[in-house]
Amino acid sequence: MQLYNTLSAEERAIMIDDAGKQRLTLSFYAYAKIQDPQKFRNDLFVAWNALDALGRIYVASEGINAQMSIPAENLEAFRTTLEVYDFMKGIRLNEAVEHDDHSFLKLTIKVRHKIVADGLNDDTFDVTNIGVHLKAKEFNEILDDPNTIVVDFRNHYESEVGHFKNAITPDVETFRESLPIINDQLKDHKDDKNLVMYCTGGIRCEKASAYFKHQGFKNVYQLEGGIINYAKQLKEEGLESKFIGKNFVFDNRLGERITDDIISQCHQCGKPCDNHTNCENDGCHLLFIQCDDCKAAMENCCSTECLDIIHMPLVDQVRLRTGKQVGNKVFRKGKSENLKFKHSGELPETALATAQKPADIRQKVKVKKVLLGKAEHYYVKAQVGQFTVENHELNIGDKILISGPTTGDQELVLNRIIVNGAETQSAKVGDKVTFEVPFRIRLSDKLYKILN
């Protein structure tokens, strides 16, 4: 019985592209008493793996928290796997504003002590005594009430790119930090104000609303289904958005646009930008905001130190991080002295720029293609792009697709290629290939071969 992934993310990406099927990105959560979380986890993995479902899921004795990608054609079968359990019958699935075939590339289900790390002792208060759920229209109306205080229960790197107008945005990097801060900040308004809270999908507010009612707050409200569900209702009902900017999400997209307003800046040059990236240095992976120009100049790195490191031999890179914490534990997430234009805490509500309309991400599935590799460099004056071939072969005469969030989808036919410094007819896995590209490419761009 298969209970773990057997394919790498790269292999899964190729399979998704080869299948050419539309996938849906969705999230859901449920608090419930689960007697055997490990068995629950294993049963879910078997059922979901059979449906080609991917995602990041946490289960605990208190419930489930899931962000997932599933083939659209398997949606009803997926619902059936949930409704086996009484506590998930009729559960709301928050569908993403923007679907991306590659939002998740593995099925990861982990058993944890809690489905959200809140630092609370659940035995000390009634976790079921939650605040009043508000739909988008009701949420907009209560925000207009002068007696309302609205609190963002997300982290600084989330609220920086988008938040509700007039919201308190705590300068924290974890949910558990925000609870005592807000409790102390609002202690004099337990009776006379509406405490209105929101988060990405609603799960953090379920626990936070119960906690604040326990602390003595009389009028506690929460946004039902979080920002994700709010955005969906805006479209369905034609409502005004009181959220400005982008909603940070915890998958490969790192965000989905709610309004066209860009309210944050590139952390390196200060240009209006709200695209997150993770530092290319494997010993860093700092999450920060980076514009396309800085991404190209810095090769996805947060600093010149990290830029130097990624050009070292791999054995030297490994030696540098041996015995050290890696990933997001190296730096505070999204904070570093190298980031000159990082903002957190009290945030602006004035748009710095207007985002360009992205190409319809659903259109990708209409082109039958296979992933070849990724962009490495663009030589502006020569109009030449360099790519690393990671899968399959590339040949003269192939029709290719260069795709990225800013570049969009651009098709070319290869008439001439340079492979590892020499002109030739084909390139194989591991080769560095360069060819003329009559438009600017970015390091986030992917290279595909279009199949006949």
Active site residues: 199
11 CB contacts (<8 Å, ≥6 apart)? none
Which tokens is 59 given?
């289960």
Amino acid identity, residue 377? H
Tell me which DSSP letter residue 199 carries.
-
Measured distance CA(385)–CA(379) in Å, rounded: 6
Q: For residue 63, what are its two tokens?
A: 């419930």
Q: Are 164 and 139 in contact (CB under 8 A)?
A: no
What tokens were used for 328? 């997001």
What does the DSSP 8-state code read for residue 259? S
The residues near 421 (Cβ < 8 Å, ≥ 6 apart) are none
CB 328 within 8 A of CB 155: no
**What single-letter amino acid sits at 286?**
L
Q: Which of 173, 180, 232 has its CA nearest to residue 202?
A: 232
Tokens of 236: 């369905």
Distance CA 259, CA 5 (A): 36
Q: Both ends of the chain: CA-CA distance in Å?
A: 37
Which secondary-structure segment (H or E) carries 29? strand 23-31
Q: In the numeric block, which tokens belong to residue 150?
A: 């609205």
Tell me how far apart the alpha carbons of residues 439 and 89 are, in angstroms, rounded to a whole number.
50
Phi, psi of 48 (to 5 degrees): -80, -35
- Cα–Cα dist 443/445, whole Å: 5
E-strand stretches of 342-407:
353-354, 369-379, 384-389, 394-395, 399-404
Q: Is 155 exposed, middle or buried (0-12, 13-18, 19+ CB in 10 A)?
A: buried
Burial of 277 (0-12, 13-18, 19+ CB in 10 A): buried
Mind giving me the DSSP string for 67-108? EEEEEGGGHHHHHHHHTTSGGGTT---EE-SS--TTS--SEE
